Structure 1
Amino acid sequence: MSSKAMVILALAALSQACASTNVPSFEESKSIVVTEEDEKQLWSEADSLESKLGESRIFYDDPGLEAYLNMVLEKVLPPNLKVLNKRPRIKVVKNPLLNAFTMPNGLLCLHSGFLVRVETEDQLATVISHELVHFSSRHTLKQARDTTNKTSATRIGVVLSCFCGWCSGWRPCRAKPY
């Protein structure tokens, strides 16, 4: 392999480290304002999905239940998350599975199947806290960036493989069919 190809390969490897997934959590950052474009896009997509889910009637319409769940959320919510312009909140999804998930815009969704199986408020608070950590640690943003980085690295690898093959004398027209 030529020295030029080695330099290109080294630069490609280094470029993988450029797009950082080291995102501070909302607790660590001095500002709780979402300013980065990719995160704004995630929040916008989550807002849109939340709206569509609401229109689909997949959420339980029980203000009393939501008030209780959000009261439990308030008990475990760190003070710095209480100043967000879009505070975390809970909705119940009509689904018999034992599950819960969090969207990047702070919507915590608890499946009705989970609520049927919960026995104490402490169990409920534990799951809410767990989901809240996904939001406050910005896990969706980190995962999206990690996916972007891996996709970029794969594309670079494909281009480099073609380049290295070309440098070594391989040509598609000379390749023998199986």
Structure 2
Amino acid sequence: VLPSSPNPVFLRFGGKERTVCICLKLWSGLQVLLVSSSRYPDQWIVPGGGMEPEEEPDGAAVREVYEEAGVKGKLGRLLGIFEQNQDRKHRTYVYVLTVTEILEDWEDSVNIGRKREWFKVEDAIKVLQCHKPVHAEYLEKLKLGCSPTNGNSTVPSLPDSNTLFVTAAQTSGLPSSVR
């Protein structure tokens, strides 16, 4: 039985679909944008959220970063589809966006006082590992994606794409022989 809530979109397997967008600034060195959490304003997260009914993941990613981070840009590749199979199932589409415009005021800054800050990728990973380790994993995959193997040596690609498909078992710290 699917929940009746129109947002987030629930999949047939009973989980919810989300999108996040790794926002990159290429001028003055490669940096990634993090936003303050709406639940815990002193903690940083990668901007993203639930998909609206009938919304495509790429459109949701662009909408979420506009609302949460107040940025616009050029949407790049789908970095990966991450699944977390704990109490509730989540499928998260992770995109990369190159920022071209930064708004002075944006929806979440006005409505809930959300903040944003640019971090070097390594610093962002350290900040996220404490309270949002799955978000740190997204940035680790981004680093892999910049390698000559494009990250494909550690995680198989989906058919007909360069997208990484990562399950909790692949990132849980289990020895590779157990995965």
TM-score by length of structure 2 reads 0.26
Does 1 or 2 have the higher relative contact order (CA < 8 Å, sep 6+)?
1
Higher helix share: 1
More strand by share: 2
